[in-house]
Structure 1
Amino acid sequence: MMNILVHGAGALGSYFGGRILEAGHNVSFFVRERRAAQMKKEGLKIMSPEGNFEHNDVKVYTSPEQIEKIDLIILAVKGYHLDQAIPQVQAIAQHTGAFVLPLLNGMEHLERLQEAVGKEKVLGGFASIIATLNEQGHVVHSSGSSAVKFGALHAEQLEICNQLDEIHTHVNTNILREENILKHMWKKYILITAFSGITSAMQLPAGYIASSEASFNVARNVIYEMSMLAKLEGIQLSDQEIEREASRLKAFKPDATSSMHQDMRKGLPLEVEHLHGGAMRFAAKHNVSVSVIETLYGVLKPYENGNPIL
C-alpha cells in the first residue's frame, strides 16, 4: 500500500486523491488552514458520473513538519500557487524521500521542481477532468471521464511508476502510464492553452467554438503556435497529430468549458501567466512570434488576480 500526500485539495486534488483513497490506499492532503477546516467539517465528497464517493474522516496537514511517512506527493495546485508550494514540497520531499508527481498545466514547473528536489524525484504527469468545487467544498465532476497520465523522467523512477501502475486496476478513474510523457504533457499544454484562452476571452462555453468559425480560427491558430513551440522544444508532432488537437476544440459538449473560464465566472485568479505567459517565454527563448497567444494574453491579463477593479 502506498502512502500518498495530495498537495492541494481543489477539485483536481480532491477528486483524484479521493479516488485513490476509495481504492484503499493511505491518502492524506496538504492544504491551507481554511480548506483544512472545511474538509474536517464537510469531509470529502465526490459527485461524479464515474460513481459518487464520500469519506468523512479525511487526514489533512497544514505544515510540512507534521508529515512523516510519504512515498509520493501528488502536486495538484494551480500555476499561480507554485511559488508558495515549492518550498513546502521541498521540505516534505527532503524529510520523507518522497517522489513528486505534478499535475499542473504547462511545462515550466518541471524545471523549477527539479531544481528544488532533484531531477531523480520529479515524475512527468498531468490530469484530464472537468470538475469544480461547490460552496461546501465538494467535488462536482461534470465530464464523463477523468484521467491522470504519468511517466518516468529519470531511471530511478521505475519502481514508483510500477507502484502507480498497480493502482490503476483498483480505482474508479484512469491512472495511465505513458512512455513518452513529455510529448503527452505538451499535447495537453497545446490544447488547454487554446481551449482556456478562447472560452475565457469569449466568456462563453465550448459550443460557441464550434458554432463560430471566427472563434474556432483563433483557437486553432493557438494550436498551431503552441505546436511550433513544442517542436522547437524537441517534441516530435506530426501534422496529423496537430490537426487532431485542433479538431478536439469542436468535440466538447456545447455547455462544457475550461477551468480558467469557470474561475473567471467566479471572479477567481486565472492561470494566464502560467499558460499563455509561459508560452510567450518559450517563444522569446526561441526568438519566434506567437501573436495570437500574445493577443489572448493581453485580453486575459487584467483578470489574472480575479475581477479587475480600477
Structure 2
Amino acid sequence: MRIVVLGAGALGAYYGARWQEAGHKVINLVREGRAQQLREHGLVLHSKNGDYEVPDLHVAESTDEISEADLVFLSVKGYHLPGTLPWLKQLVQKGAKVLPVLNGVEHLTILQRELGEEAVIGGLAYIIATLDEKGHVHHTSPFHDLVFGPLHPSQQQICEELSLACSQANMKGKQSPNILEDMWKKYMFITSFSGITTAVNLPIGEIRQHPETFLIAKEMLNEMKSLANANRIQLTSDDVETAFNNLNKLDDSMTSSMHQDRRKGLTLEVEHLHGGALRLADEHNLSLPYIQTVHAMIKPYENS
C-alpha cells in the first residue's frame, strides 16, 4: 500500500514504521520542525515488541511532494485537526481515503463535512508511546492494536487491503464490523484513564491505592456509557466493567499520553476529549458531573 502518515508523532511514526518494515511505501507528511528532526536523527522504534530503525525514511513537507496515495493515516492531536484540512483535501483529490485515529468522536463530523462521507474511515488505536529528545519512539505498552472499519459501503475494499497490510506488519490490526461502537468504547476508556491520571498527576498504580480516587475513574466510565446511549450507541454496564477491569490490569507505572504531556508542559487534549463529551452532553440535556469536574481540574494546564 501507499500510505501517508500525517502527524508523525509517537503514534503515527510507530504504525508507519511497522508498515514500512513490512514492505509498504510510507511517507511521513510533517511540518518543518519535525521534518528537520527526522532527517537529522532518523526514525527508531524502541519497543517491547521489537526495536526497529527505518532504513529509508521518506519525509515530505507538502502534498506537492506526494503524487498518489491509497491511505492517509491521520494521527494528530485534536487541537491540530483544523490545520490538517487543506492537506487532507489535496490528498483525497489524489485518490486517498483518510483513516483518523484521533481520540473522541467529534472529528468524524468535521472530516465528513470537509472531505465527504466516502473519504473518511472509522478507526482507533490502543497504544502507549512517546517521543524522546531525538524524536525516536518509545513504545511502553505490550499492546499496539489498530482497529478500523468502513463508515460507507464504498470503503470495504480499502479496509480489506489495510487488513492485509496489518497482518503482514508487527502490530495487531483488526477490521471491525461495528467501528462506531468500538470508537465509543475507546472514547469511554480514554476519557476516564487520561482524565484521572492527568487531574491528579499520578500513574494509574498510585491512583489504585486510593479507592476513593479510583472510584472517580469508574464514575466517568458510567457517564460516558450514558452519553454513548444518548447518541444511539448501545454500550452496556458490561462494557463499563470491562473498561474498569482493563484499568485494573494496567502496570502500576502506566499513565496516559495526556498525563505525559502535562509532565512535559505540552498542550493538552482536554478540550477535544472531555470538552467534547460535555458539548455532546449539552445537545442531549445530559449531566456529566464527574467529567465536568475533571475537565475543570485539567483546564488550567491545557496550554502550560
TM range (shorter): over 0.9
* Alpha-carbon separation, structure 2, partners of 1:268 and 1:168: 31
* Alpha-carbon separation, structure 2, partners of 1:304 and 1:90: 29
- Deviation for aligned residue 1:241: 1.6
Match of 1:280 in 2: 278
Structure 2 gap ranges (5+) = none
1:214 partnered with 2:193 = no
Q: Which residue identity does 1:23 align to in structure 2?
A: A
SS in 2 for 1:288: coil
* Alpha-carbon separation, structure 1, partners of 2:51 and 2:302: 33
- Deviation for aligned residue 1:42: 1.1
* Alpha-carbon separation, structure 2, partners of 1:214 and 1:208: 12
1:124 partnered with 2:117 = no
Q: Is the 8 A contact 1:7 1:13 kept in 2?
A: yes
Match of 1:190 in 2: 188
Q: Is the 8 A contact 2:127 2:141 kept in 1?
A: yes
1:19 partnered with 2:18 = yes
Q: Which residue identity does 2:253 align to in structure 1?
A: D
Deviations 1:46-99 (A, max 9, x none): 0101111101431111112222110100001011111111222112212x1200
SS in 1 for 2:104: coil
- Deviation for aligned residue 1:211: 1.1
Q: Which residue identity does 1:177 align to in structure 2?
A: Q
* Alpha-carbon separation, structure 2, partners of 1:266 and 1:147: 25
Share of identical aligned residues, percent?
48
Match of 1:260 in 2: 258
Q: Is the 8 A contact 2:35 2:59 kept in 1?
A: yes
* Alpha-carbon separation, structure 2, partners of 1:248 and 1:145: 12
Q: In structure 2, which of residues 90, 94, 97 is the aligned counterpart of residue 99 of structure 1?
A: 97
Q: Is the 8 A contact 1:103 1:127 kept in 2?
A: yes
Pairs aligned (count): 304
Match of 2:5 in 1: 6
- Deviation for aligned residue 1:161: 0.6
Q: Give the TM-score, by structure 1 length.
A: 0.96
Structure 1 gap ranges (5+) = none
After the TM superposition, list the runs of 4 or more consecutive aligned residues in structure 1 that deviate by more than 4 angstroms.
none
- Deviation for aligned residue 1:302: 1.4
SS in 2 for 1:143: strand
* Alpha-carbon separation, structure 2, partners of 1:19 and 1:88: 23
Q: Is the 8 A contact 2:19 2:166 kept in 1?
A: no
* Alpha-carbon separation, structure 1, partners of 2:286 and 2:269: 22
Match of 1:86 in 2: 85
* Alpha-carbon separation, structure 1, partners of 2:125 and 2:132: 20
SS in 1 for 2:235: coil
* Alpha-carbon separation, structure 2, partners of 1:15 and 1:69: 22
- Deviation for aligned residue 1:170: 1.1
Q: Give the TM-score, by structure 2 length.
A: 0.98
* Alpha-carbon separation, structure 2, partners of 1:74 and 1:65: 18
Q: Which residue identity does 2:160 align to in structure 1?
A: N
Match of 1:145 in 2: 143
SS in 1 for 2:248: coil
CA RMSD of aligned residues (A): 0.9
Q: Is the 8 A contact 1:64 1:92 kept in 2?
A: yes
Match of 1:53 in 2: 52
SS in 2 for 1:100: strand
* Alpha-carbon separation, structure 1, partners of 2:294 and 2:227: 17
